[in-house]
Amino acid sequence: MQEAVARRVAASLIINYCNLIRKMKTIYLAGGCFWGMQHFMQQIYGVTATRVGYANSVVENPDYKLVCTGATDAAETVEVGYDPDKISLFRLLQLFFMAIDPTTLNRQGGDIGTQYRSGIYYVDAEDLPVIERAIDYERGEVRDPVVTEVGRLVNFYPAEEYHQDYLDKNPSGYCHIDPALFKLAREANAPGKVDKESYEKPDDRELRERLTPLQYAVARENLTERPFLNEYNAEFRPGIYVDIVTGEPLFLSTDKFESGCGWPAFSRPIDKSLLDEHRDLTHGMDRTEVRSRKGDTHLGHVFDDGPKELGGIRYCINSASLRFVPLEDMEKQGYADLIPLLSR
């Protein structure tokens, strides 16, 4: 018994050490039966390692049978290692909330008991403001109070081996999470969702006829539009932003944030390979210009002063270089395949 526990604890320490060496991060998420939550997390691009176990137990080294009695006050939890360069903690928590009901206390699906409560447990104090922001966001999405527990991780004891990767070993095994959500998890943060071959750059004559004078001057002649007095600075409806020249999707509304700069700001593109970056020394400044690769559209500039919880990057983009497609219009305009990227 003690030897098995020691092996499980050692394995957990190895994951944390590897995450540290590789500059990975770790968060602990409780969302009902850990079989389904682990499988859900494993689908997300940017998640590098998972392990199920018992968090914040008042009894040392509990086993599954004891946890099920409620005597340990432990929560069935998934240890999630992730690459912050591929997925932000805020985005990860958005997906987590997609898979749980944050308004039910000590219950998820048909599983009832304190071990099935929902919770977010952190080891890095800098994560707390991000978690609180995600909780506040979720409160705006549901009618009932959010009861998901938030706190520092006190302890984590890896569960028995047969619980690890349970649904991989038992594909028809019990799971309280809707199987359709696994597909959404795979697609929601996946890179390269845009079919780059479907978008072509029109000739200059067509662009002059189709674009407004301001759109042409910004997209083709590198003009910068006026701050604040532009079309999408205050636009925050769900949808996508596409290249005004080619129609190629470039940015998601879920990655847009209020930066105060006066232009639309995004934490990342849908796929970084859709963009080109060039050093820009005009106007006495040293900046990095961003252009669309297919359309060669001048979009704006990228800076490293974005919100830390969103990755620290700010794509400052001209509204005139973009066209916004609201979520409700995406299917009829041919962007149905990208709708899952906006799913929570």
Alpha-carbon Rg for the chain in angstroms: 23
- pLDDT exceeds cutoff 90 at 12: no
95-99, 140-144, 146-150, 276-280: range with lowest mean pLDDT? 140-144
| DSSP E strand stretches across the chain | 25-31, 47-55, 75-82, 107-108, 111-112, 118-122, 149-152, 156-158, 239-243, 249-252, 256-257, 265-266, 275-280, 287-292, 298-303, 314-317, 322-326
Positions annotated as catalytic residues are: 33, 316
Q: Report d(CA 27, CA 126) in Å as an integer.
A: 12
Q: Confirm if 24 and 155 have CB atoms less than 8 A apart.
A: no
Q: Report d(CA 89, CA 142) in Å as an integer.
A: 21
pLDDT at 344: 41
Instruction: Give the tokens for residue 314.
Output: 């700010």
Helix 34-42 and helix 180-188, axial crossing angle in degrees, nearest 10: 40
pLDDT category of residue 13 using cuts at 50, 70 and 90: low
- pLDDT exceeds cutoff 80 at 47: yes
Residue 137 CB burial class (10 angstroms; 0-12, 13-18, ≥19) = middle
Render pLDDT for 211-246 as a digit per residue (tens, 0 to 9).
999 999 999 999 999 999 999 999 999 999 999 999
pLDDT at 2: 55
pLDDT at 21: 46
205: which residues sit within 8 A by CB, 6+ positions away?
Answer: none
Residue 333 vs residue 47, higher pLDDT: 47
Q: What value does the mean pLDDT of the chain take?
A: 89
- pLDDT exceeds cutoff 50 at 331: yes
- pLDDT exceeds cutoff 90 at 304: yes
- pLDDT exceeds cutoff 80 at 193: no
Q: Stretch 142-150: mean pLDDT, rounded?
A: 95
Q: Report d(CA 209, CA 27) in Å as an integer.
A: 52
Instruction: Give the tokens for residue 72.
Output: 């340990």
pLDDT category of residue 343 using cuts at 50, 70 and 90: low
* Bridge partners for 29 per DSSP: 78, 120
pLDDT at 157: 98
pLDDT category of residue 276 using cuts at 50, 70 and 90: very high
pLDDT category of residue 19 using cuts at 50, 70 and 90: very low
Q: Confirm if 188 and 43 have CB atoms less than 8 A apart.
A: no
